[in-house]
Amino acid sequence: MTTTLDPPVRIGKPAVGALALLAVATGALESVVMPTLPLLQRELDLSPAEGALLSIVLMLTGALVTPIAGKLGDRYGGKRVLTRLMAVVCAGGLVSAVAPNLPVLLLGQVLQGAMVGAMPLSFILVRRHLPTGEAKVAIGVVSGLFVGGGIAGTLAAGPVAEGLSRHWMFALPTFAVIATTLLVNRLMPQDPPSRNDDAHIDLPGLALLSGTLLTLMLVLAQAPDITSRPLAVGGLVLVLAAFTTGWIAVERRATAPMVDLRMLARPAVWKSCVLTLMICVGTSAGIYLIPQLFAVPTADYGFGAGATEIGLFLLPATVAATAAGPLSGIGTRRIGSRAVVTTGIVIMAAALIALAVVHGEIWHLVVGKTLIALANGLCVTAMVTSTATTVDHGDTGIATSLVLVSRVIGMAVGTQLSGAILTAATPAGSVVPAEPAFATGFVLAGLVTALSLLVARTLREGAPA
């Protein structure tokens, strides 16, 4: 049931700026584990399997929390839920900062995973307090700066961990999240709830979706060993199918499902989700493969770059990713989301295919990574913006959370598949994959990205979902 809403209080640039700063801080905190995983494994005496678990637990938690946060934000008000969610994130950051061992660090990462839910809540606030045209630009700014914060965190985590300690690489962005949350709480007006229907948490749906995502990650992680362990991989695939079937059945019958499959059936929503997933598969291949290629020793076919050099090589991509969000918001407002998405897909597919052919110089990889970052920002921001502004106000949070969950799954799938390709191409007794494996990864990612044009061409502008 929908309530009668009071006229919204229009927000100014300071309030939007506070949301943008919060996006930068949370993006930075989200990204510190991956570039420092070898350091964490060494200092905490972790096995490769434990390191892999640490690298995905935040992602899985975020995929689970995001639809819940969006639903609660729609029903209780975006600001109210956002500030409470950030309290959980800050607690997680502080736990991670003082963690003496893996179990405590995993607990901190689980709590930090709640940060992914901040995005749909920010979109609820922007949509509630700004006209549609201005909301599109503001959503683009927030999305772009979240991406930019993530890349900045990736660049800074290594130097901070090596220069200070691993504790400070969690503590510094956590302090930034605390400060920006207080700023948002001060500058952002309260938004009344958009819906007053039952807001209880769908625990069976949550449990089954948790099992589905965890099993999917295990299947992808075991994919390189399918020839030596076919029964184990086959068993995991069957478990994945069972979890997926059970989750769909439960959500279809639930009175207040965690993920409303009826909303997912709307063309504006499912097309955005499919496009986001496919585009992020391509993006994650570039994110994973390019640094690996930088690090290959010069005695083989790579450049022998260290962590600091790789960070400098990726700096142009940081700038492009940060700028892509606002550019996408402005472009969506002026020429429509379909044109922006199509442009981004063409840029990314061309960059990936080009990298498969030419990757023998550092500037090839720098330019390719920059184009991929730019294209991903254009596409994903346009998808989120389009979805946020074509559904009812009361559905903004849950609709955009579905797109963001698709982003998480696409990034995870692309990264795992790229890793599997390199693993399969690494000769026995060596740690360096055969060079054609990189070309194969780039080509496959480019083809997946190009195929998304089939969906992009069916997008419609302006009609409500």
Average pLDDT over residues 328-345: 81
Distance CA 427, CA 110 (A): 36
In tens, the pLDDT along 93-118 reads 899 888 888 888 888 888 888 777 77
171 three-state secondary structure: helix
Contact 396, 193 (CB under 8 A): no
Distance CA 340, CA 354 (A): 21
Instruction: State residue 346's pLDDT score.
Output: 93
Distance CA 399, CA 74 (A): 10
Distance CA 165, CA 99 (A): 12
Q: Kindly list the structural domains of the chain, giving each domain's residue range(s) and its CATH number in brackets, ordered by start.
A: 9-190 (1.20.1250.20), 203-258 (no CATH), 260-465 (1.20.1250.20)
In tens, the pLDDT along 158-217 reads 788 878 888 898 889 899 889 988 887 787 777 666 555 455 666 787 778 777 777 776
Angle separating helix axes 436-451 and 267-295, nearest 10 degrees: 160
Furthest CA-CA distance within the chain: 69
Q: How many residues does the chain have?
A: 465
Residue 264 DSSP one-character state: H
Neighbours of 249 (CB within 10 A): 12
Whether the predicted pLDDT of 394 surpasses 60 = no
Quote the pTM value. Answer: 0.68
Instruction: State residue 299's pLDDT score.
Output: 78
Instruction: State residue 178's pLDDT score.
Output: 92
pLDDT category at 368 given cuts 50, 70, 90 is: very high
Instruction: State residue 140's pLDDT score.
Output: 67
